[in-house]
Structure 1
Amino acid sequence: MSAPLTRKGAATRERIVTGAATLLRERGVDQVSLDDIRAATATSKSQLFHYFPDGRSQLLLAVARHEAQQVLLEQEPQLSDLGPPGSWSEWRDVVIARYERQGTRCPMSALTRQLAPSHPEVGAVVAGLLTEWQRRIEAGLARAGVEQARTRAIIILAALQGGISLLLATGDSTALRVALDAAIADLLETPSGAP
C-alpha cells in the first residue's frame, strides 16, 4: 500500500493479519480461505482487498511477517535477559515449551513453503527472523562474557533450528532438547563459588 494508514486503518489491517494468523495456526494454511478470514475478523470483502489488493498471497506474506515477529515475542522477556547464570535455562525452557505446544504444525514453515515459489520476499522474512534471533542470542553471550559470541550464537541457533526441524518431522521434542542443551551446556553451569 502506497499511502500511509490512519491509526484506525492500521488497527483494521492488524486485526485482519492477527485473525488470519490465528486461523492458520488452528487449521493450517491449506484449510483457510479468504471467506474464512473475513468471517473470523468481521471484515468485508472490500475492506480485505483495500488492505491486501493482491489478495490471498499478499495477506499470507503479511501473516508470515507477523509469525516471524511472534517467534521472538514468545521468547520474551527471557530472550532479552540472556546473560547471567540461570537466564539460559529459563530461556531454554520457554523455547522448548513453545515448540512442544506448536507440535508438528508450524505456521511459519507452511507459509514460507506456500509463498516461496512466487514470492522471493518471503526469503527475506525468514532471513530477517534468523538474523535477529542470532543477534539477540549473541548479545546474551556477550553479556555472559563468552568469547567468540558470534560463532557461539550461530552454533546455538543451528542447534535450535535442527531440533525444531526434527520435531516438525517426528512430533518428538527430544532432539530439540538434546541439541539445545548441548549447545548451551557450559552456560547452564553455576559459576564456582556461587550458591
Structure 2
Amino acid sequence: MTIGQDAADRLTRKGRETRRRIVEGAAQEIRERGAAGATLDDIRARTATSKSQIFHYFPGGKEELLLAVAAREADRVLEDQEPHLSDLRTWAAWQDWRDAVLRRYEQQGINCPLGVLLTELGRTTPAAQQLTGQLISTWQAALREGIRAMQKTGQIDHRLDADRTAAALVAAVQGGVTILTATGSTTHLEAALDTTLALLRASAPDVR
C-alpha cells in the first residue's frame, strides 16, 4: 500500500520512526476504543509524543492520521496472508493461504479495524475509495499471478480468465468477512474459501 507513503519517504530515518510510532500507537488506541473514542490526546499519551509532533507529521489532524492508520491496517490484511500469497504455485501453498486467511479473521472476530476506519473517514470519500481500491487491486493481482503460475504447470485450466477468477476469490473472501462481522461466525468465510478452491482444483481433474 502507498497511501501517505510519499510523505513518509521524504522524512529522515528518525522522522520515519516517529511517524511509524504514532501510526502504530493510534492503531492500538483505535482497536481498544474505536475510531470515534480515540482522541489525539489519548494517542499522544500512548506514543509519548507532543501535540506539535502529531501535527508536524499529520498536518491534517485526526482525519489524516486515521487515513494513515487505515493504510497500515490495509497492509496488515495482505501481510497476514504471507508468505503464501506471494508464492501460490502448488495446491499445498493455496491450502496454506486459505488457512492463513481463515486464521486472520478468526483472530480478528467481529471487530474489523479497517472497516471501522473507512466508515469514520467516509467510504465514499476519494481517499477512502483510493485506499480500498489499492488493497483490492494488490490482493487480486497476487491471486491472479498464482492462478497463472498454476495454469502454466497445468494444474488449473488455462481457459479460465485468471483476473476474473482472482476477482471472484477476493469477493468470496470479503463476502464471508462481511457475514463474520455481522454474526461472529466464520462458517460462511470457510465455505467460501473451500468452495472456490475446490472449483479451481476441479478445473483440471486429471492432475494430481
**TM-score normalized with structure 1 length:** 0.92
Given the alignment of the two structures, is residue 139 of structure 1 paired with residue 152 of structure 2, yes or no?
Answer: no
Decide whether aligned partners of structure 1 residues 178 and 29 sit closer, same or farther in structure 2, where only a CA change above 3 A counts: same
Give, in whole Å, the separation in 1 of the partners of 2:98 and 2:32: 25
Decide whether aligned partners of structure 1 residues 66 and 193 sit closer, same or farther in structure 2, where only a CA change above 3 A counts: closer
Q: Deviations over 1:39-72 (max 9, x none)?
A: 1111111111111112100100111111111110
SS at match of 2:36: helix
Give, in whole Å, the separation in 1 of the partners of 2:207 and 2:51: 65
In structure 2, the gaps of 5 or more residues are 1-6
Decide whether aligned partners of structure 1 residues 140 and 118 sit closer, same or farther in structure 2, where only a CA change above 3 A counts: closer
Counterpart contact for 1:23–1:37, Cα < 8 Å: yes
Q: Which structure 1 residue ranges, 4+ long, deviate > 6 Å from structure 2?
A: none
Q: 1:109 aligns with which of 101, 110, 115?
A: 115
RMSD over aligned Cα atoms:
2.1
Counterpart contact for 2:85–2:142, Cα < 8 Å: yes
Q: State the partner residue of 2:171.
A: 158
Aligned residues: 194
Given the alignment of the two structures, is residue 31 of structure 1 paired with residue 43 of structure 2, yes or no?
Answer: no
Counterpart contact for 1:24–1:107, Cα < 8 Å: yes
**TM-score normalized with structure 2 length:** 0.86
Counterpart contact for 2:123–2:129, Cα < 8 Å: no
SS at match of 1:178: helix
Counterpart contact for 1:88–1:187, Cα < 8 Å: no
Q: 1:63 aligns with which of 38, 61, 69?
A: 69
Decide whether aligned partners of structure 1 residues 23 and 184 sit closer, same or farther in structure 2, where only a CA change above 3 A counts: same
Q: State the partner residue of 2:53.
A: 47
Decide whether aligned partners of structure 1 residues 46 and 74 sit closer, same or farther in structure 2, where only a CA change above 3 A counts: same
In structure 1, the gaps of 5 or more residues are none
